[in-house]
Amino acid sequence: MIICGIDEAGRGPLAGPVVVASVIMRPGPKIEGVRDSKKLSKKKREKLFGGILDNAAEYHISVIDNYYIDGHNILKSVMKGMEECIDSVKNADVKFMIDGNYFKLEDGRENNINFETVVKGDDKIYEISCASIIAKVTRDRMMEELHAKFPVYGFNTNMGYGTAKHIKAILENGPCEMHRKTFLKNILIKIPLF
């Protein structure tokens, strides 16, 4: 049985996309140092990222933007990304190992998929850890690029998360087009969002 790990990055930020990644690693020794991306330094993640892609038999990265998130909610957005990753896999004899405790698709399609959800899987299952690193590095790079366009919010350091400085910048400047408007309701009670 071939294992395909799936994980996401960016479920909780106030801005930017959520990124879901899937990966099937080639047989052979595991890459040393691979673990949950949140427990690795940026430098270490970046170094491992290249090695993971070089040793992957297959991988897919699904980017679900803030507009979709606002239109459908974050959970449906993550499920959409996971479904895109699953649909991209060419090998039929695969078991999908998914980080977390929830995986449900429309029309019960998940019942036809060989999968298992694993709580804290990004620190327990090698393939999920690899997917975690792919998703995190991809999303961080995207947020760093957005910083060049919207420098006032500090996306290059907060990655869109609701830090005190980020929230202060939103209150002083209003949201930008990359903010998740549905995530800002409690912050911007007195400021019109649209």
Q: Answer positive or negative: Cα dihedral of 51, 55, 120, 15.
A: positive
Report the CATH number that the domain containing residue 15 is assigned in CATH: 3.30.420.10
Cα distances (Å, whole numbers) of residue 39 to 25, 121, 122: 21, 13, 10
**What pLDDT is stored for residue 191 in this prediction?**
54
Number of domains in the chain: 1
Q: Residue 169 falls within a domain, yes or no?
A: yes
The pLDDT of residue 99 is above 70: yes
Q: Residue 194 falls within a domain, yes or no?
A: no
**What pLDDT is stored for residue 37 in this prediction?**
87
Q: In the structure encoding, which two tokens stand for residue 153, read together?
A: 């919010």
Cβ atoms of 147 and 18 within 8 Å: the answer is no
What value does the mean pLDDT take over residues 54-72?
98
Q: In the structure encoding, which two tokens stand for residue 170, read together?
A: 């939103």
Cα distances (Å, whole numbers) of residue 155 to 21, 142, 158, 162: 21, 9, 5, 10
Q: Which among 70, 83, 58 has a CA at the least distance from the CA of 2?
A: 58
* Average pLDDT across the chain, whole number: 95
Q: Residue 161 falls within a domain, yes or no?
A: yes
**Residue 136 domain boundaries:** 2-183
Q: How confident is the model at residue 192 (pLDDT cuts 50, 70, 90)?
A: low
Q: How confident is the model at residue 91 (pLDDT cuts 50, 70, 90)?
A: confident
State the DSSP H helix or E strand holding residue 190, giving kind and residue range, or none if neither: none
